[in-house]
Structure 1
């Protein structure tokens, strides 16, 4: 859309006036639409494609600003480097931002000289505004990224969904159990979520549709649970959630999860197994073994939910961890 602005300015007295400038503006607009189309495909662009796009857009913004006869409007055009700065900071290394800003500096320098010939004060103010805006946005984006994931490491993240993988899930739950200091949290809740009819979805929409389903379900889970809950994508259609509760009633969370999954664009449903167990007895047990047992019980609960048609929840309260095969579905479980 930013690439279309020079073409739109052709209708203005401040826009490009020569025939050559019109051709350049049209080429930039077409090129911008072509680059944007890469992000509308089923798969993300490769890293090289993204790098080349950043370089092309950097040059395009510079040329778009310089072909305008009015340098004040040209400075306004260079403000769009903010969009590129945000993208580079979020998805690429700092050295690419250095390249982007180097191209921007050349354009700003030329515009400054042109504008300073008629009004040096306005030229200085325009330059300061554009520079400060880009620097502030870059620093703010980096700070926000660090604040959102203060303890996350890239090796812990499953790349497709952005959630934790199985190993990181185990590690995070072990840390949760070891560092539990809130006396009002009395129960550990483990949820296993399985997307219903996932094989049918793959058959109908292919791997692209399956990936979209995983991503949307992962996003729905992340947006539904509390900020300190532990969420992982552990298999094609399987997700795990762990959190601590003050009561043994996890149904409000479960119903929110079911609603968020049903609200996804694909209108998906899921079978969910929920295990709720008191925290104090877990303190003396090896966390990995405890979690193995709880996940196994939750997966058994999912199988029972799927056997009754799917799109259901099976709760298991205070399971017998000494004998996971005797989890107590008949006495403590219920179907919702």
Structure 2
């Protein structure tokens, strides 16, 4: 497969009044042509900071402490801001979480799509208008010639998100980053937006990075999954490996807390505790496995030493001391076993038919 993006040993921190906040800590992953990579984790795990680093949209108090993001043989972390516009929106586009805050409330939606075409591609306005209407049709906006002249407040949440997707697609980008694009939408509209992104990905052979806190969302759209916790990737593998052969206790916890039609609502589990304080100081030293305080399977070594990645298969890795040859054998949670059993039953049923 053709590699289109490579993140190597990336470290991003932020200056705060209380000290240096370690947002992304030495993460690595690749993105291949035509695939969807899902990055999953709780709020504060470093998902969005990673996506903004790729887009060159880090805040002014951000510190690049090390690592690289390679795209077309160039390191995006070294490109000056005044030159980044050649990539941002043209080669790599992004769909943000809240479509209302992504759109200008006092500008007609058609003009906002046209702006991307006129500024980036130097397209004449007449041609840009025609192309904008074609994009609105492509993303499923009914009566695009009429709605071209309307304002964002005249659109529903789902339709506004479709406009944001049209803007992201305007310049034929190679990579599309979706930063929790369905969070602000109801369940029915969520499904429609996910189907639209998947349809466009296949038609355009796009590479997609899908950022989410919900493992359930990625089950049907991702090819590979990177699970993030406290600024690190803790498990990495194909979607079936993460869902049906998970190895990290944090992945177990995410799967156990995921509702499904088979779940007894009264027994839905929650991850105990809260994410750690990532501001490093003399009184708060980031040491060991930072999930240890919330992990009932934690051992003494988890509090003292950060686990390396252990190889589960050629495509599956997990950073947990439970995979060390000398670690005690533990059973994964019953809720996770149930998910795997249901998967095996569905597989057996499909084979019969």
Q: TM-score category by the smaller chain? A: under 0.3
Rg larger in structure: 1
Structure with the higher strand share, 1 or 2? 2
Of structures 1 and 2, the one scoring higher in RCO (CA 8 A, sep 6+) is: 2
Instruction: Provide TM-score, normalisation by structure 2.
Output: 0.23
Instruction: Provide TM-score, normalisation by structure 1.
Output: 0.23
